Chains A and B, each alone.
Chain A
Amino acid sequence: DVKVTQSSRYLVKRTGEKVFLECVQDMDHENMFWYRQDPGLGLRLIYFSYDVKMKEKGDIPEGYSVSREKKERFSLILESASTNQTSMYLCASSAVRSSYEQYFGPGTRLTVT
């Protein structure tokens, strides 16, 4: 079975802190994605990557950056956390050959105080 893991289930950070969210997948998938999920807004794509060292902006990249140095790992970085970045963050991966089916991690609930 595909396994996508995220470094933390719950995280509490202070405004202005630098925050790293890590995502690792074990199925050699080419594509990896970061979403945030907020009540009433559904899932919104922050960034995605279709290869090592490649990244593309999604719908809401402002305030975020990403890093993909290895195929299995995709990191989301909040350079200076703000309270409006309090949210559920979901990582996903997919293989190019699988018609876009995505596999999700369990999510990280981030609270910025």
Chain B
Amino acid sequence: SQQGEEDPQALSIQEGENATMNCSYKTSINNLQWYRQNSGRGLVHLILIRSNEREKHSGRLRVTLDTSKKSSSLLITASRAADTASYFCATAYGRNSGNTPLVFGKGTRLSVIA
């Protein structure tokens, strides 16, 4: 399986703290993406980082990518109770074209306690 792996599987923090989630993958990638899923709902795209980028920001989100280690991290700063959700990393494998499927990891379950 070329599935990515998130770490940790579950994370519980206090409101206002930072949350860091990690993702490792196995093959060369075109880009890596992070998605969020609220309980029982579909996934929502958060941020995309290309293989030639090392860091990217979007609001309270910061994503880093280390292609030499085949790993990425997602940092959520100043967390809020509304950030409680599961977070998934996803990578594209196979043909380097726009219709290549993504491979999703198993996710990190984040709980932010008010």
Binding site for B on A (CB under 8 A): 4, 30-31, 33, 35, 40-43, 45, 48, 50, 58-59, 88, 90, 92, 94-107, 109
Contacts and interface: CB of A to CB of B under 8 A. Distances in A.
Contact of B99 (A31, A58, A59, A107): A31
B42 A99 contact: no
Interface in B14-71: 30-31, 33, 35, 40-45, 48, 50
Nearest to A101: B45
Contact of B40 (A42, A48, A95, A107): A107
Interface string B83-99: 00000101010000111
16 contacts: A30-B98, A31-B99, A40-B106, A42-B105, A42-B106, A42-B107, A90-B42, A92-B43, A94-B98, A97-B98, A99-B48, A100-B30, A100-B102, A101-B45, A107-B41, A107-B42
A36 B59 CA distance: 30
A98 B98 contact: yes
Given A42-B105, A42-B106, A101-B33, A106 B42 contact: yes
Contacts of B40: 88, 107, 109
B45 A102 contact: yes
Contact of A42 (B44, B98, B101, B104): B104
A58 B101 contact: yes
Contacts of A97: 98
A53 B5 CA distance: 33
A100 B98 contact: yes
B43 A90 contact: yes
Contact of B98 (A48, A92, A96, A104): A96
B30 to A, nearest CB: 7
Given A102-B45, A104-B42, A33 B88 contact: no
Given A50-B99, A98-B98, 4 more contacts: A92-B43, A97-B98, A102-B90, A106-B41
